[in-house]
A and B are shown apart, each in its own frame.
Chain A
Amino acid sequence: MSDDLRDLYQEVILDHSKRPRNFHAMPGADRKAEGYNPLCGDRETVFLDLDGDVLKDVSFQGAGCAISTASASMMTESVKGKTRAEADALFARFHALITGEGDGGDPELGKLAVFSGVREYPVRVKCATLPWHTLKAALSGEAAPVSTESEGPAAESGGAQ
């Protein structure tokens, strides 16, 4: 495999995509939201168990590409136990990382830094952000499914076939 592809599909990402963590429904969830990426048809549901302001438990379910599945899996691990504000801040840092605005060396990102290769693949940014947008929707209690097409500059879903 080429080095470019290795930068995107790091071992940790491949591992999480093949064996996603916190990959189950949560029957007693306080909140849940559904996310949809029309570009690739990915659908993910994020479940939340809140304790006041703290994300006591987070899980997800759905079918997606390696990037969105790994991103969801690692997101659930990294926001568990954080406050709402902390989770929001982490998404902002993550977003900056994968769009190339941020600094790959941001220490706050922890393991999420493995997604730095996404910046070289602009069409894959939406795959990586899908679970985070869905988490945000769950936190704000939005009923309607979120679509990645409400974000970002180019909507790539509509093109000619």
Chain B
Amino acid sequence: MSTVARPAPAATPVPAYDVAAIRRDFPILATRVYGKPLVYLDNAASAQKPSAVIDAERDVYEKCYANIHRGVHWLSVHATDAYDAAREKTRRFLNAAEAREIVFVRGTTEAVNLVAQTYGRTHVGPGDEVLITGLEHHSNIVPWQMLCEERKARLAVAPINDAGEVDVDVFARLLTPRTRIVSVAHLSNALGTVLPVRRMAELAHERGIPIFVDGAQATPRMPVDVRELGADFYAFSSHKTYGPTGVGVLYGRAELLEKMPPYQGGGDMIRSVTFDKTTYNKLPHKFEAGTPNIAGGIAFGAALDYVTGIGLERIAAHEHDLLVDATEKLQAVDGLRVVGTAREKAGVLSFVIDGVHPHDIGTVLDRHGVAIRTGHHCAQPVMDRYGLPATARASFGLYNTRDEVDALVGAIHEAIRMFR
């Protein structure tokens, strides 16, 4: 029919990113809020779940649920296999060397606490230092602070500049002969900064110091290869990566995990118990006391299948497009200031507006169906750094669209009309 000449197909055709089809995978996106279509831009807090994940969790309970690692019976064997398969999927997702380097925990928060309480307590002593950065989430501050207090050690902080970047030279200078461990975010939840983790790992390793990477915001929006990064530990949360809540991952190099004492005591983490002595189970079970979130873990495996099925590179490109579009449009709004303008940024857009408090922005946007986050984003030191009590934050997911960016911008104009 058409007389318009079509361009010749590319040599290696990359399928277009079909966001409409992707959206159909997420039942909740059909929700209407106060009569308006839901525009979910709070993905950094938690991501929505595709049917594949919801179905996987239901399937466990309907078809193969039993406790794992214990039963001789058919159901237990199947549940165990499915749970172990999720561990193997996680290994592949992070490109870890071995599945036993993948410890299932409740979330990023528990992973940090685990390492602080095991590696930290055995390696950090009086006068030693733990080095973090100025943009960390409270969950990558407080566990180290608790450790330092207990061990009479010092928490050192690599500062951020006005753009929200960590200067690598300053970071390097803060690595001292007393530094015992470094812990940094891969991607800041408050500012969207992507940290030069690979370079930071190199610098730490040159001095024989291990590095823990908080990947909570990175795994949903960029490919992660722990060996390429040089991460000794890497943590992330299922719920931010389109999986169920209550499941998280601690990756640790086997050599380090082997030497660490267990975290919690209980069932599953032991090899044998007598009242005189207990010998601990092998990796990763040494760190997995008690019955885990079995169905959640299996459904988490389905979430990893889902995102890798789309491809993290393509998700990253899609979100980058949204971030650039939204940043341009928001910066054109009179009196709006973007907080966090690092050169390397992903997925997260924090902002403040003259004369309109973030909390009021949030309420007005909500009534337009636009869900964003307002507050300190569990990163009070970041807020203090900018002298702000709070910011408004839009954060993108693999299912967001440019139309939704426009809905955000439209609702922001509404809020400004109202309060100025």
Contact = CB atoms under 8 A, between A and B. Distances in A.
Interface string B356-370: 011110011001100
A1 interface: yes
Interface stretch (A35-43, A77-85, A88-96, A139-147): A35-43
B45 A40 contact: no
Contacts of B190: 161
Contacts of A17: 419
Contacts, number: 72
B375 A41 contact: yes
B360 A65 contact: yes
A127 B359 contact: yes
A14 interface: yes
A42 B44 CA distance: 23
Interface residues of A, number: 28
B375 A157 contact: yes
A151 B44 CA distance: 28
Contacts of A9: 360, 418
Interface in A56-73: 63-67
B390 A41 contact: yes
Contact of B389 (A40, A157, A160): A40
Contact of A159 (B34, B45, B388, B389): B45
A161 B367 contact: no
21 contacts: A4-B34, A9-B418, A18-B419, A39-B375, A40-B358, A40-B375, A40-B389, A41-B375, A43-B389, A64-B357, A65-B358, A66-B357, A66-B419, A67-B360, A124-B359, A127-B359, A161-B44, A161-B45, A161-B373, A161-B377, A161-B378
Interface of B: 34, 44-46, 137, 189-190, 239, 357-360, 363-364, 367-368, 373-379, 383, 388-390, 414, 417-419
Interface of A: 1-2, 4-5, 8-9, 14, 17-18, 38-43, 63-67, 121, 124, 127, 157-161
